[in-house]
A and B are shown apart, each in its own frame.
Chain A
Amino acid sequence: MSARRLRSTAVLGISLAFLLAWAFPIIWSVLNSLKTGSDVLAYPPKLVFSPTLDAYRDVLFGSGSILPNLISSMIISVGTTIVTMLMAIPAAYALARLRFRGKKFAGFYVLATQMLPPVGIIIPYFLVLRNIGWIDTYQGIILIYLSFSLPFAIWLLVSYFEDIPFEMEEAAYLDGASRLRTLWRIIIPQVRGGVAVTIVFVFLNAWNEFLFAVVLSGNTVRPVTVAMFNFVSVEQTLWAKLAAVSVLAMLPVVVLGVVAQKHIVKGLTVGAVKGGGRR
């Protein structure tokens, strides 16, 4: 009996340690963002302090406000999501539902594009965008974000489209609906959940992207992940402000992640399960 108790205590201890390990860096950032400039520098680190929103006020409305960067991130993410979904929904429907030669290849192509290292995309893209003056523009960044968001969205949506029985469409044809009408009235409403999940993940990936953003951003378009660097320099780090910016950058994705909790495994493993076109 005592061996058993020892075991369950050990299990509890280990699991708590891991929960803490995962949660702590995030909690610590939140705590630091609520400290005053002097509290944050205290040694040993303070766990108990009187919280203040000074840091947030500073980074949002002070000089060098990151508000434009948050807006930048938002425009990029929303724009990427809209364009991606408009293209991915019809493509996914075709891949999941229609019969045509080369379908297997088309599905494979979508997956294979993911093999290309992002750095291999950004080098030529940078040259092209520089020539046409699209560096530091929204259209430039959104366009290149399609390189990763489209394959992802297509494959995730295909898995939802495939869940709808064929008979549903056939019933609609017999009821006199055309192909497009069937897609619009019968199929899309049934994949609403899948579309929502896809939107969440596309937004999340766009919000989190860094490499393309670092290369293509400038004074006009600079998402928050890049702008964060302003608060860290060789000479000094603006600790509380950095913490506040980090929390602001984390907030939307954490909220979305928790909302989409049940679908997260599917969203993270999409495409890998099939490893190529089916049928």
Chain B
Amino acid sequence: MAPSAIAAAGTGSEAASTDYGDALALRERRFAAALLAPAFLALLATTTFPLMFLIWTSAFRMDLAMPFTNGFVGFENYRVLLSDERFWSSLLVSLVYTGSTVALQVVIGLALALLVMDMKRGQGWFRLIAILPVVLSPAVVGMIWRTFMLAPEFGIVDFLSINAGLGSQNWLGDPVLAMVSVIAIHTWQWTPFAFMVLLASLASLPEDIYEAARLDRASAWQRFRRITLPLLRPAIVMVVIMRTMVALTAFAAIFTVTAGGPGTATEILNLYAYRKSFTELSIGYGAALAVALLIVTIIISGILFALRRAK
């Protein structure tokens, strides 16, 4: 095992030792490279390469329905995109969808976590039930809601609405109600996530600081505002970041319920890019939309990470 390369150096102990350190580092690097290579090649092939190809594609007119019009168009797709009303409306829908679902998840999740935290019995039920929605496929969730919950007359929500005197509603056919519905579905599925994370975070707060605060005569509200909230802030910010990223690229939960409809009422940017590419088969323009979505994602996450670092 004695490294012969080092023995050859032999010009003095100091030089030799440095070489030996380098040789060790080199050996460690090679071992690391060998271990990392498969995963990183796969990641390059399945993420970085597609990204390059996506950007390249977005510079083409590539219409699978009309192949004879295909060709390099440079920034033409982006020029069209900027004056595309459907793009701007889908961006707005994305922001509304993301903003409202994330806000609802955090507020309800936090409220529920605080509530459950104080419960002496039954916490286990919450922890168990909360798992169910988050492990399900959004596609299955969307399908269940679309049919068994929201179908006019047949669905339970509509049944309740009728019995509450509000009458039968076209939950997924009316633009506003459809938007409310997809937001509600996403919130239903992912609030347990916020709940579980915040509950775990709450449970890890040391009890003695609350005892100290109580001795300092802080009221329950003051304890929440001055102690709980600041201490939970990292967890809350983390939930917001994670949920925002997911909501921006939500697909199945909308696609299976409304497919973006009625019209484009629930068409978030992600869905628009999909429909353009795979329903209308304008792949070049769809690619430009996907790039736009990537840019939006980067901007929003940049803002969120800046917020996380602040203070």
A22 neighbours in B (Cβ, 8 Å): 129-130, 132-133, 188, 192
Interface pair A95/B36, CB less than 8 Å apart: yes
**Which B residues lie within 8 Å of A19 (CB)?**
125-126, 129
For B159, the chain A residues whose CB sits under 8 A away are: 43-45
Q: Is the CB of B148 within 8 A of A25?
A: yes
Select one of B118, B131, B136, B286 contacting A250, CB under 8 A. Answer: B136
- Tell me how far the C-beta of B292 lies from the nearest C-beta in chain A, rounded to whole angstroms: 10
**Is the Cβ of B138 less than 8 Å from the Cβ of A116?**
no
A265 within 8 A of B: yes
Stretch among A53-61, A63-71, A163-171, A269-277 lining the B interface = A269-277
Docked-complex contact A117 and B278, CB < 8 angstroms: no
B200 in contact (CB, < 8 A): yes
* Interface residue from B49, B57, B256 paired with A123 (Cβ < 8 Å): B57
**Chain A contact residues, majority secondary structure:** helix
Please, what's the 1-or-0 string for A207-247, where 1 marks a CB less than 8 Å from any CB in chain B?
11111001100000000011011001000010100110010
Of residues A28, A254, A264, which shows the largest number of chain B Cβ atoms within 10 Å of its Cβ?
Answer: A264
Contact with A along B283-295 (1 / 0, CB 8 A): 1001100110110
We find that the number of chain A residues with CB closer than 8 angstroms to chain B is 90
Residue count of chain B within 8 Å CB distance of chain A: 94
Q: Are B134 and A275 in contact (CB under 8 A)?
A: no
Interface residues of B in 73-132 (CB under 8 A from A): 112, 115-116, 118-119, 122, 125-132
A248 to chain B, nearest CB (A): 10
Are A90 and B38 within 8 A (Cβ)? yes
CB-defined contacts of B283 to chain A, threshold 8 Å:
123, 126-127
Contact of A196 with B by CB under 8 A? no
Contacts of B143 in A (CB 8 A): 228, 232, 242, 246
Flag A136-152 by CB within 8 Å of B: 1 or 0 each: 00000001101100110
Q: A208-B138, A237-B151, A269-B197 are in contact. Are A100 and B28 (CB under 8 A)?
A: yes
Interface pair B140/A225, CB less than 8 Å apart: yes
B54 contacts A124, C-beta separation under 8 Å = yes
Residues in B lying within 8 Å of A, measured CB to CB:
25, 28-29, 31-36, 38-40, 42-43, 45-51, 53-54, 56-57, 62, 112, 115-116, 118-119, 122, 125-141, 143-149, 151, 153-154, 156, 159, 188, 192-193, 196-197, 200, 238, 241-242, 245, 248-249, 251-252, 255-256, 270, 273-274, 277-278, 283, 286-287, 290-291, 293-294, 297-298, 301, 305, 308
Additional pairs, 17, CB under 8 Å, beyond known A90-B38, A143-B45, A239-B148: A15-B115, A15-B119, A15-B122, A26-B133, A29-B148, A45-B154, A88-B39, A99-B28, A117-B248, A119-B290, A120-B293, A121-B51, A124-B287, A208-B139, A210-B255, A211-B251, A242-B147
Instruction: Report 23 cross-chain contacts, Cβ distance below 8 Å, ordered by A residue.
Output: A19-B129, A26-B132, A28-B144, A29-B144, A32-B148, A87-B39, A91-B35, A91-B38, A98-B35, A115-B245, A115-B301, A117-B293, A119-B277, A120-B51, A120-B290, A124-B57, A127-B57, A179-B31, A210-B138, A211-B255, A225-B252, A250-B140, A269-B238
The 10 A-B residue pairs with the shortest CB-CB distance in the complex, in nearest-first order: A257-B135, A208-B137, A91-B39, A210-B252, A124-B53, A90-B35, A147-B46, A120-B290, A113-B47, A94-B35
